[in-house]
Structure 1
Amino acid sequence: MDFSQLNKARAASFNQQKALLKKLGQGKTILCETCSKPLSLDLATQGIKQGVVCCAKGCTHIELEIG
C-alpha cells in the first residue's frame, strides 16, 4: 500500500492548523471557513493542559493538548 498521498494530506492539514494557532496566539483575527465568524482561542478551559479554538456558531472546534 502507498500511504504517501495520505501522509502528504495529513502533513498539510497539520501545518495549516499550526499556522492558524500561531496567528491566533499573536492576536490576529482569523475567520471560520464555514460561517466567516471570528475564531477564538481559549486556554482557560476546564481541563489542565487543554485549550480550544472555536467560532461562535461552533462549526469550527479544535481541541488542543498543551504540554
Structure 2
Amino acid sequence: NERIVQEALDHASKGRTTVVIAHRLSTIQNSDRICVVHRGRIVESGKHDELLARKGYYYRLAQSKN
C-alpha cells in the first residue's frame, strides 16, 4: 500500500538527510528539495510547489499523471 510506504519513509527520514529515487510524484512531493533528473542530468530542483510554478519538466510530469 502506497500510504504505508509513505508513512515508513516519513518516519525513517525524520531528522536525517535522505535520498529517495521515485517515479511517483506523491512519494516526493513533501520533500525539502526535489531534483528532477532527465537523461542523466539534473534539469530542475526545488520544492514541489516551486517546481509546479515554474511550469517546466516537473510540471509536465505532474500534468501527465493527472
TM-score range, shorter chain: 0.3 to 0.5
User: TM-score with structure 2 length normalisation?
Assistant: 0.34
User: TM-score with structure 1 length normalisation?
Assistant: 0.33
Q: Which has the higher helix share?
A: 2
